[in-house]
Structure 1
């Protein structure tokens, strides 16, 4: 039996079964079966029929049949970004910030007292991303684009990069450090100020290395309405790395304090000082 004949037979069987089910049962299940049959027969625009269930689900998630044949998830996201820019950016930034904290905790093996990676910082970071970072970024990028609207010369692009690094980045980084201090438990102005003073120039150095490259890439290849999500994605990757390294350093210091300063004869840490499983030392 040829592959083509077998595929046609399967499609006919699915079509017939779905039609019968939709006729006899109706409702959501019958409609879903009919949609799968339509995709399997290759009649759903923009689909190949090779993976009918996945194609039906993808079509439903990207706006239904009226959007079938478009560029899929990215096109639907960009459409939402254009129609509801602030809401979409808030959802994006909140999701990325919460995911970043959870991923960094997993990579650094940073567990709470119950042995879970989903610590109280995860929803706090998600709230920061959605309610602080996204609106602030939306406003600052709007200011940047407003100032340089219609200016496409090389001089204007260089000035745009300088404005981003000397005005926008310091504001965003200062707000970020303040938020991180509060999330970490700072209770006084002096504690918050100390956090900002210690971390500001370190964060700024990272920004000054990555920001010009990212902004130049955005200027060259991306439409302006996608800049904030793009910068959020870059920040997600860099932030996850920095967050992971920071957590590992803090946990190392906590373990030394909690389990003692003893060393093995060779100068390295004793294996029993660093239990592989279970919650981290209390802090």
Structure 2
């Protein structure tokens, strides 16, 4: 069965302009990931002012906010270039090596060198996107979440890399990994948003209880 014409066109663009194509793809997927996460988790939408432009109301109805735009910028300017150079270096280091020992070495190099860098940069970027204003706040966020994110990466990355090495042609690695990252990213995004909503409701309930107790006194 021949490949879909759109996939062939995408692969041609990927071959001709790899960094630009990856940046546009990752930026778009990060944007969609944030919008889908908010929609699935049913995050309350901040209602625009009545006199706001109609486009603002339309964006709010679609769960598109400033954070979604920031995620698109992160994907375009940070995630894609970083993945392009790190993965490219890994592929060059193991180019032409198809033996079992080479495949295991590639997985280890990805887990011990690439994943820690990507995890740290991801957490630092998320800290900034979520409002961190100082270097100290960014460092605290990275320290707090580094090993949690890295553990997930150490499980997911080797499995996807084994599948890619065994079943996916090299020229399809980029769309394959993008698909996996998009699915997992959306899932984790939804879970985090649900936890935040639950925590906010709990805090609001506790605050109301305190107010009721103090009014009784």
TM-score by length of 1: 0.65
Q: For 1:68-217, what aligned pairs fall within 5 Å after superposition?
A: 71-114=4-47, 116=60, 117-217=63-163
User: How far does residue 198 in structure 1 lie from its aligned partner after superposition?
Assistant: 1.2
* Cα distance between partner residues in 2 of 1:125 and 1:224: 28
Partner of 2:215: none
Partner of 1:254: 200
User: How far does residue 258 in structure 1 lie from its aligned partner after superposition?
Assistant: 2.8
RMSD: 1.8
Deviations 1:101-125 (A, max 9, x none): 0000001111342173212110100
Which structure is larger by alpha-carbon Rg, 1 or 2?
1
Q: What is the aligned length?
A: 195
User: How far does residue 239 in structure 1 lie from its aligned partner after superposition?
Assistant: 1.0
User: How far does residue 228 in structure 1 lie from its aligned partner after superposition?
Assistant: 2.9
User: How far does residue 262 in structure 1 lie from its aligned partner after superposition?
Assistant: 6.8
User: How far does residue 70 in structure 1 lie from its aligned partner after superposition?
Assistant: 6.8
TM-score by length of 2: 0.84
User: How far does residue 72 in structure 1 lie from its aligned partner after superposition?
Assistant: 1.6
* Cα distance between partner residues in 1 of 2:4 and 2:36: 29
In 2, are the aligned partners of 1:141 and 1:228 still within 8 Å (CA)?
no
Flag the structure with higher helix content.
2
Unmatched segments (≥5 aa) in structure 2: 49-59, 210-217
Partner of 2:65: helix, strand, or coil?
A: coil
Unmatched segments (≥5 aa) in structure 1: 1-68, 264-283
